[in-house]
Structure 1
């Protein structure tokens, strides 16, 4: 088998070489790429003859997929696979596996970084201190005893609940499937509408699907408390950015912490959320820690090895 890594995975060459031995020791060919390219012709050239792709979060078009007639499997070093042309993979019966669980701790921890930054005005406080100003106008709010509404109770949502419980939060949850693990932590499942209306903090942890696109729209934002904040570390299109910016600028809600947008960074300077009041933004960094990058590389390579051994794991398609 010819296994082609189409883009770097943000770990050292030594780590990649070590992980690749699981393939090469079995006689498989491994072709790594250590420099990211968005040039279509270059990607097609790299993909030539591949049986397996290893990718991260760069878009993978049908043209590139179809340029590799032997392609049978794609191992995605990411949780979501919405950047892959799924229809092309279905037509060619290509197996797709994701790196489930690699960033659970990283994303959950940045969630609380955004929550605390928004509640306690950390960014404007930093600016004030550096400009010889005081805390005047920057007195914040405690997280303790607030109601934390978690939309999506997968692994990350449950980890957010665990941390929220340690902070002394009351926990509400909304998910397609109720989990006993979540209820054992203290999550009370309610409708999405009730969660939005009762929560002081609404934190989003759902994948991007046809059902979740614009899940948080103008009508649903209107259900939130004027004192509440919204956190999105899931996928950008889950939230209607224009509606959220309008709500923030008109004080319909108190603040927002946003890590994801409709596009990958760099985010255009005229994006509505970059100019909205009391909004903390980060450039899709929730998943990105040294520890998570090594973890996802290990999972991604192990997915290929498991598939080669006819025991596929983390299968998404």
Structure 2
């Protein structure tokens, strides 16, 4: 019985380690969480290190010891950020699974486009928490609550400036009606929205709960003029890079609310800033922004009261419902049985 060497550089609790080890007697799990923190600190932008590493985290072991761990690894379970040169240092590596859902997280490293099988936790993230965050952001601007800090600082009320919406009967367009997008569509429909959505290809079966229509990517321009809320939930790929450019903002309904819980690079921020300056948007909810792992958001966005920017926290909650480890264990069983894996990244497609 051949041993399968699984190296985790993602922090796991005791219960999750036990789940991985219980998949099969052939699995030998080595826990190297935190060992590579010093390398990450040295090779990633300081902004990333400060965001994701503990202030005193500098890694464990020597470079030779870390190389030895990688040299023995058949499978690596990772998170974000990660060592950028995993492919070069892990000659036996056949499969890498990352706990985050977005494949674009991997673009900085040498796994991207390599011959290593890479899987992600797409569809297994804390989708409900992210959808609830989006709803909170929509309500923030729909009810004019962005006025509260302005009036508190000015010590002056202007009741007429709130202009609150009634949500019932409004239209929402969910761009990327996948796992997160479907959760959001269901919640928005419960609030009275008419919900339309897009996917890379239109579904052929029943519509997801809450959606009145789900079209393909090319239908987006047809939906934008009628949408009071536009929520970006899609993957960042070559096709969606700067998907929301000046032309798309011009097609949006004047006074609409934009939400982005996907990746900042899907929105052309120069075009967004120009659209805000023209007064065409009621509010913008951003849990992401371009280059968020390297620098703060542009001041033109951060300082605008019509923009709510948060540091990629929409998936957080008091309950961890992330299914990434369950997916990894299922795929580990599939790998050992010689069956196809779920969520394999297609490099040409981008996820």
CA contact (8 A) 2:172 2:230 kept: yes
CA distance in 1, matches of 2:247, 2:42: 40
**Closer, same or farther in 2 for the Cα pair 1:32/1:291, shift >3 Å?**
farther
Identify which range, 209-218 or 268-277, moves more after superposition.
268-277
**Closer, same or farther in 2 for the Cα pair 1:189/1:302, shift >3 Å?**
closer
Identify which range, 267-276 or 220-229, moves more after superposition.
267-276
Give 1:221's match in structure 2, choosing from 229, 234, 249.
249
Q: Does structure 1 residue 314 correspond to structure 2 residue 343?
A: yes
CA distance in 2, matches of 1:81, 1:306: 21
Identify which range, 283-292 or 242-251, moves more after superposition.
283-292
Can you list the C-alpha shifts for 1:116-151, whole angstroms capped at 9, x where unaligned? 122223354267569866463334323221110111
Give 1:212 shift: 0.4
CA distance in 1, matches of 2:227, 2:334: 42
5 Å-filtered alignment, 1:45-194, equals: 45=67, 47-58=70-81, 61=84, 63-85=85-107, 88-89=110-111, 92-102=114-124, 103-125=126-148, 128=151, 134=157, 136=159, 137-179=161-203, 180-182=205-207, 185-189=210-214, 191-194=219-222
CA distance in 2, matches of 1:220, 1:291: 37
CA contact (8 A) 2:185 2:209 kept: no
Give 1:199 shift: 0.5
Identify which range, 80-89 or 108-117, moves more after superposition.
80-89
Give 1:277 shift: 4.2
Q: Which runs of 5+ in 2 are unaligned?
A: 44-58, 347-351
Q: Which runs of 5+ in 1 are unaligned?
A: none
CA distance in 1, matches of 2:81, 2:233: 21
Give 1:196 shift: 1.4
Q: Does structure 1 residue 236 correspond to structure 2 residue 264?
A: yes
CA distance in 1, matches of 2:35, 2:144: 38
CA contact (8 A) 1:75 1:303 kept: no
Number of positions where the alignment pairs a residue of Structure 1 with one of Structure 2? 313
